[in-house]
Amino acid sequence: MSTKTTQKKYCNQPPAVNTKHEEGITENRLGFILSVNKKWVNGTTIKYLFIKGEGNKTQYDVVRKAFKQWKDLGIGLSFIEVTDIDEAMVRIGFDHKDGSWSYVGRDILTISKADRTMNFGWDLNNAYGLTTALHEIGHTLGFQHEHQNFNAGIVWNTEAVYKSFSAPPNNWSKAQIDSNIISKLPPNQMQASKWDAESIMEYEFEPGLVRSPKPYDTAGIYPGGSLSPQDIGAVRSFYPPLKKNDTQTLAYMQSAVLTAKSGKQNDFVFKAPSTRKYTIQTFGDADTLMVVSEKGAKENHYLSGDDDSGFSKNTKVTLPLVKGREYLINVRVMYNGARSGSGIVVS
């Protein structure tokens, strides 16, 4: 048996924002919503900022390299570093008195501008530093801890887990160990893929912490520390490369059908025929997340969004649009299992 012990510090997540939904919705529908509701719409440009007075260029470069590794997979999300805090969605700090963590996916949008959305609690300038940066960005993209995946089926030796993680270097409380390791995440029907012990979202666990499955009880869990084939498959599935002909033209007062399957997207472009307020809304029973942005020469500018998932209503955005400019309307269909068809219209 190996004599390896938990010597590394691990990501210590803040509590997730609870998903609200109306009562009485089916488990199937809720399962689809929970599996995708923290993800960004594909095509989002995620702007990140390093908090002034923390970290240094060496640390920033590791984080930049990690963003590039995710982007180089060909995904439809983009990452842009900005220096204006009013522009940034992701605010990255390097407070070594705190741990390493990031809020998950669109939870980030609910965090006050005064607060960071990601922190690095240790030096990143080594192999484990790059692993840490890839992991925290994984949370920012909407991925959660792989060992908490409901489908993982891990049976913990809970006493041994408490003992190992309450000791240095992590020194976690029971509540922190529960929320980062022991608690299972809600059943996740989109990522019903089997547990991936090699995932960047997986921690290391020394032998004796897992009772089953085999051989991890005696071998421990030692992921490779880089993006695994399953990580790459998952991120490409949620954020596939953008192709020009995926975008449909939407004309004023002419509705279009939402054809996307649950978890997938319909993307539209609308050219405003005059300068005035328009209302962009979905109709029908589908659960959707709608994001409207203005097309720019270099990047698209987020304008507004709405999310009706888990409620008997529709997404609706009213905005002043400018004659001749083009607007992207990205609709992530969270759940499209309803009997009636759903669509979208600009009026």
Q: How many CB atoms lie within 10 A of CB 271?
A: 15
Phi and psi at residue 233, to the nearest 5°: -60, -45
Phi and psi at residue 249, to the nearest 5°: -85, 135
Minimal distance in Å, beta carbon 132 to Zn ion? Answer: 9
Helix, strand, coil percentages for the chain (3-state, nearest 5):
25, 25, 50
Nearer to Zn ion, 11 or 63 (CB): 11
Nearer to Zn ion, 182 or 319 (CB): 182
Nearer to Zn ion, 120 or 239 (CB): 120
Which of these ranges, 3-11, 76-84, 222-230, 282-290, lies near Zn ion under the rule CB under 5 A? 3-11
Q: How many CB atoms lie within 10 A of CB 100?
A: 23
The answer to the question of residue 66 lying near Zn ion (CB under 5 A) is: no
The answer to the question of residue 137 lying near Zn ion (CB under 5 A) is: no
Q: Count H helices and E strands in the chain, helices first.
A: 7, 16
DSSP 62-100: HHHHHHHHHHTTT-S-EEEE-S-TTT-SEEEE--TTS--
Q: Indicate the pairing of strand 45-50 with strand 78-81.
A: parallel
The answer to the question of residue 11 lying near Zn ion (CB under 5 A) is: yes
Nearer to Zn ion, 47 or 139 (CB): 139
Q: Both tokens of residue 160?
A: 């041994």
Minimal distance in Å, beta carbon 147 to Zn ion? Answer: 10
Nearer to Zn ion, 11 or 221 (CB): 11
Q: How many CB atoms lie within 10 A of CB 248?
A: 15
Minimal distance in Å, beta carbon 42 to Zn ion? Answer: 23
Which of these ranges, 10-18, 65-73, 270-278, 335-343, lies near Zn ion under the rule CB under 5 A? 10-18
Minimal distance in Å, beta carbon 144 to Zn ion? Answer: 8
Which of these ranges, 5-13, 169-177, 263-271, 327-335, lies near Zn ion under the rule CB under 5 A? 5-13
Query: Which amino acid appears at position 266 of this protein?
Result: N
Q: Does residue 26 sit in helix, strand or coil?
A: coil
In whole angstroms, how far apart are CA 124 and each of 61, 127, 130, 141? 9, 8, 6, 20
The answer to the question of residue 181 lying near Zn ion (CB under 5 A) is: no
Nearer to Zn ion, 17 or 256 (CB): 17
Residue in the shown chain whose Cβ atom is closest to Zn ion: 11
The answer to the question of residue 104 lying near Zn ion (CB under 5 A) is: no
Apex 280 CA angle, 278 and 284, nearest 5: 145
Nearer to Zn ion, 148 or 288 (CB): 148
Q: Both tokens of residue 168?
A: 């240095």
Which of these ranges, 8-16, 105-113, 209-217, 288-296, lies near Zn ion under the rule CB under 5 A? 8-16
Which of these ranges, 11-19, 170-178, 221-229, 305-313, lies near Zn ion under the rule CB under 5 A? 11-19
The site that binds Zn ion (CB under 5 A) totals a number of residues, namely: 1
- Residues forming the site for Zn ion (CB under 5 A): 11
